[in-house]
Structure formats: structure tokens, C-alpha cells
Amino acid sequence: MNSYPTFAELPFVDGTSERHAWTVFGHDDELGCLNFVGPEQVVAASREVERGRVVNLNLALGEPQPQFWASRPVMQHTRIVKRNVRDDEIDHLGMQTSTQWDGLGHQRFREHGYFGGRQEAELDRGELGIERWAQRGMIARGVLADVAAYQHARGEPIPQDHRFPINAEMLSDVLRHQGTTLRPGDVLLVRTGWLRWYTTLEATRRQELATLLAEDRTRIALPGLDPRLDTIAWLWDNRIAATAFDNPTAETLPYIREHGWGHIRLIALLGLPLGELWQLDDLASVCQDEGRYSFLLSAPPLNLPGGVGSPANAYAVL
């Protein structure tokens, strides 16, 4: 792991002030930061299992309702009843609705392209398909940073309808408070409390927020990752293999142009898998009960050739 460059040593994309990791793992790499998880890290992750407690981290498919993005139709589940069997069909299953991963084909950096500098034609040929992650497997040591609990303990609960950027300093403070140490190849899960707050709102208020997200993200505020460079550098320098949040955008809203874009910096430039709408409340309760915030995490995407996103299929095992 020490052979990888620090964030400050990464090269700039030509003509920009943005750093990239396009050649760190090899010119043809399609795994990105999952390369931080090798056999040694998987073996170590398996040792996190002490009591065999399994925690589901997934929302039901199609939840929460209403859907956030107008361009993604509502899932339709059809049960087919025959004489002696039942079958299922699902129509309009958005790969990036409910608890999900954003793949490396999801986000590009302007004219410079997707991860590795790839352009549309290369993705059309199947490069950066999320099946690469599925074939590789997404099994690693997971770590929960329970920012919501930390802020509550300080008497400063997170205002869920306000912009609340979670930066490197705060993440370090939370992990220190929990007694949690990061290791190279960890998957970092960050609980803001937003999903629990959202699902307890009245239906009319949820519809209002969903409409705002679909039409104009500058008019909605929520807590999430601070996209500024010090936080991005912290994730890279700690060799985080992937990160996921319990909100619909991972990064905080509204965007501030001068602060940069987390999706671009993480997915397109560093190749870091980004998860959204992860159900982390049950995990937080179990971690508090167990007195530890690390676990074996299994979160393989669907083996969908050319896919740009997938349900996360995520479980923590303690």
C-alpha cells in the first residue's frame, strides 16, 4: 500500500487543477480503488466476524417512495401465478434507486472523460461496466462512521434539512470517538441520519423534497460528504476502497461550485465506488451494542454487463 502515491503526488488532468489516479493501477484498470482490497485485506476482514450477527443494509427495492429522480420510472413488480408455481417479473428497475452503488461509468469529468480518460465510445464497447466489480467481488472490512450519533452526543444534532458538510476533520473525530482505526482497503459507511428522518416525514413533505431533487437540486439542503479537496485527499490517503452514505446524493447539498463536485472527484478521477441510500440505522444500533464499529462487509453489485450502477446487496457481519 505504501507504493501508491499520496493524493498530493497524483498528477493533474491536463489543463485543470484536478488530480487523477488514472494510471495508478495500470492504464487498462477498471476496478479503481477496489484495488486497495487484496487477498490480505479479505482475510483480515473475515476475522471481523466474532458472533455471526448479520445486519441487512438494504432498503426494499423501489424504496424510498416517491423516487427522487424524474428520469427514473417507478419500479413495477408483477407476480405471475400459475397452477403450481409463482414467478416474478420486474419492470423499470432503476439500477440506481434504493440502496445502490454508482459505478465508474456513471460520472465523467467534462470533456476529459470517465475514469482513465475513457470516452463514450469506449463505454459503449463495454468498458467500465459494473460487472467488473461483480466478478472481482466486493468483500472487505467495513467501518461505520456514525456522524449522527456523534453529533447527538455533543448536543448538536445534525439538521437534516440544512447543508451540513462532513469533512476529513469530522470523520477523524468520529472515528477517534468510536475507538475505530482505519486500515487500507476499508469500505467507509457514513451515517448522517437523513434516511431515517426522510422516511418519517408526511407523504406530502416527501413528495415536495423528491420534486425538488428532480427539478432543481440548488433548492434542497441535506447533510453529506464535503467535496472539498482536503476530504477527498483524506479518503485517498487512507486507501479507502469505497464509501457509502444514507442519503440520496452521498455529498452534501446544495452544491457550491467553488467547493467542487464529489462525484467527479471520487468516481471519475479517483475511481472510488460511491454508495447512496444505504440503510445504516440498524447497523448503528448493533455497533453500539457490540462496542465496535468494524465488520465484514459484503456488497456485490449485480453482474450486469455494461451497467453503470446496481443495487448494493449489502450486509454487515459482526
Which has more pLDDT, 208 or 69?
208
pLDDT band per the 50, 70, 90 thresholds, residue 274: very high
- Residue 207: what pLDDT? 87
How confident is the model at residue 2, as a pLDDT?
A: 66
CA 196 to chain centre: 17
Q: Cell numbers at residue 60, please? A: 426494499
Predicted local distance difference test score (pLDDT) of residue 1: 60
How does pLDDT run across 154-176, given as a tens digit for each residue?
999 999 999 999 999 999 999 99
Query: What is the enclosing helix (H) or strand (E) of 25?
Result: none
- The pTM (predicted TM-score) of the whole model is 0.94
Q: What is the mean pLDDT of residues 259-265?
A: 97
Q: Give me the pLDDT at residue 58, please.
A: 97
- List, for residues 175-188, the tens digit of each pLDDT value: 999 999 999 999 99
**Can you tell me the mean pLDDT for 8-22?**
97
Check pLDDT > 90 for residue 309: yes
* Span of 34-38, 68-72, 163-167, 244-248 with lowest mean pLDDT: 68-72
Over the chain, what is the mean pLDDT?
Answer: 94
Looking at per-residue pLDDT, the higher value among 205 and 46 belongs to 46
pLDDT band at 210 (very low <50, low <70, confident <90, very high): confident
CATH number of 7-317: 3.50.30.50
| Residue 86 near residue 79 (C-beta atoms within 8 A) | yes
pLDDT for 94 equals: 73
CB 166 within 8 A of CB 192: yes
- Residue-level pLDDT at 167: 98
pLDDT at 70 over 60: no
pLDDT of residue 72: 66
Share of the chain above pLDDT 90, in %: 81
Task: Check whether the bond before 64 is cis (ω within 30° of 0).
Answer: yes
8 A C-beta contact, residue 68 and residue 166:
no
Mean per-residue pLDDT for 62-85? 78
- Between the alpha carbon of residue 241 and those of residues 82, 135, 258, the distances in Å are 45, 16, 26
Torsional class of 35: left (φ above 0), alpha (ψ -120 to 50), beta (otherwise)? alpha
Residue 196 has pLDDT above 60, yes or no: yes
pLDDT of 91 reads: 77
Q: What share of the chain is helix, strand, coil (3-state, %, to 5)?
A: 35, 20, 45
